[in-house]
Amino acid sequence: MSRLEHVVQVGAALKQTAPTPTAVPPIRQLPDDLLQKIFNIDLQNIPVEDLCSTLYERCLLVRGSGSCFPDDPFWEEACRRLGLPQAGFVPFRGGDVFSAPPSWMYTFREFCKEISESPDYAQVMLLLCLQGRADEIDEEDLEQAEGDMWRDESSIPEMVLAVLKHHGVDVAPPPEEEGDGPDWYYDPY
């Protein structure tokens, strides 16, 4: 028997003894509790800086188009990972406040929007906090944040401030006391 004939014979024997692969059900057909566990594990592996850009995509993958409801538990899990304490933890942005009940999905989306509207130094501080590295926040960034907050209290969005404060980084200016301010006064009349 030649080497080629031997290889063909062994290959045929292996093919006959190999188990037939079983069909894997699509992920959407798995039970909800198993889907939730898969999502929670996956969520822990997504870098915090990529969470806003990839979470909705993951929802579509796991749940399917049109099935990423505002009250789905994975939105809550994502918000908790970001340090958001409750659904509806969002500033009022106009419109009818009673039009939709607070949801984790809305909270998550608003937080991501606020992150994108935040100054670069605030984004860096937030990222360090979410990575558990709040002690590495640069003193310059803190000074810049406090200076901006003195000039304009809305320079860092509300939810970003709340999460920073949750991690022990308080950049809100102290309340003004009587007598604070410049020693001069300009009267145009």
Distances (CA, A) of 114 to 78, 98, 133, 142, 157: 16, 21, 21, 19, 6
CA atoms of 78 and 68, how far apart (whole Å): 13
* Terminal-residue alpha carbon distance, the chain: 114
Q: What confidence tier does 59 reach under pLDDT thresholds 50, 70, 90? A: confident
Supply the pLDDT for residue 177. 54
Inform me whether the pLDDT recorded for 178 exceeds 80: no
* Secondary structure (3-state) at 18: coil
Percent of the chain residues topping a pLDDT of 90: 0
Closest by CA to 132, choosing from 52, 47, 62, is 47
Domain boundaries, the chain: 27-91+100-166
Q: What confidence tier does 107 reach under pLDDT thresholds 50, 70, 90? A: confident
Cβ 84 vs Cβ 108: under 8 Å: yes
Report field, pTM of the whole predicted structure over 0.85: no
Strands (E), the chain: none
Inform me whether the pLDDT recorded for 28 exceeds 50: yes
Inform me whether the pLDDT recorded for 100 exceeds 70: no
Across the range 9-28, mean pLDDT stands at 68
For 126-157, give the DSSP string: HHHHHTT-GGG--HHHHHHHHHHHHH-TTSS-
Q: What confidence tier does 181 reach under pLDDT thresholds 50, 70, 90? A: very low
Higher-scoring residue by pLDDT: 149, 128: 128
